[in-house]
């Protein structure tokens, strides 16, 4: 598996394709909510397995915090350690840009995954995002 920081339109489209399959097709998130107004300011990542895109995510910087967003893997990449590797790449990028704290909104079903990576739940109760229950989480790098 190779994880790259997106540098061209073709790589970004690969990231969008993975996000569309996972969030729009599998989880029924409306496309106009999935692809949003923050795409241009975000740093995008795509994971390839033998030149095929299988994972994606993005990172934005908001004041003094890095916000991890849109983390997803195709079904065949789940449970392989790919998610851990993707998050590690994003965390390294945030740290190398001078950010020592990350936050994210995790789907409740993925909360355990992020806890294993050192994230702590900071929201009191789950909240809905695109109709899916989420929790707010943070990690100091």
pLDDT, average across residues 56-72: 97
Distance CA 17, CA 140 (A): 31
pLDDT, average across residues 20-40: 94
pLDDT for res 82: 96
- pLDDT tens, residue by residue, 31-58: 989 999 999 999 999 999 999 999 999 9
Name the residue with tokens 């190398």. Answer: 96
pLDDT for res 72: 97
pLDDT band at 29, cuts 50/70/90? very high
Q: Are 138 and 114 in contact (CB under 8 A)?
A: no
Q: What is the pTM of this model?
A: 0.94
- pLDDT tens, residue by residue, 5-14: 999 999 999 9
- pLDDT tens, residue by residue, 88-141: 999 999 999 999 999 999 999 999 999 999 999 999 999 999 889 999 999 999
Residues 6+ positions from 119 with CB-CB distance below 8 Å: 102, 104, 106, 137, 138, 139
């Amino acid at each position: 598996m190779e994880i790259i920081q997106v540098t061209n339109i073709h790589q970004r489209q690969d990231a969008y394709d993975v996000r569309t399959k996972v969030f729009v097709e599998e989880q029924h998130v409306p496309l106009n909510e999935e692809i949003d107004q923050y795409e241009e300011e975000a740093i995008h990542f795509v994971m390839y397995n033998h030149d095929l895109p299988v994972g994606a995510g993005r990172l934005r910087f908001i004041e003094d915090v890095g916000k991890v967003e849109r983390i997803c893997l195709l079904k065949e990449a789940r449970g392989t350690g790919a998610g851990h590797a993707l998050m590690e790449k994003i965390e390294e990028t945030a740290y190398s840009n001078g950010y020592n704290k990350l936050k994210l909104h995790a789907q409740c079903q993925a909360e355990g995954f992020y806890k294993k990576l050192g994230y702590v739940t900071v929201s009191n109760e789950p909240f809905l995002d695109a109709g899916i229950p989420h929790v707010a989480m943070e990690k100091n790098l």
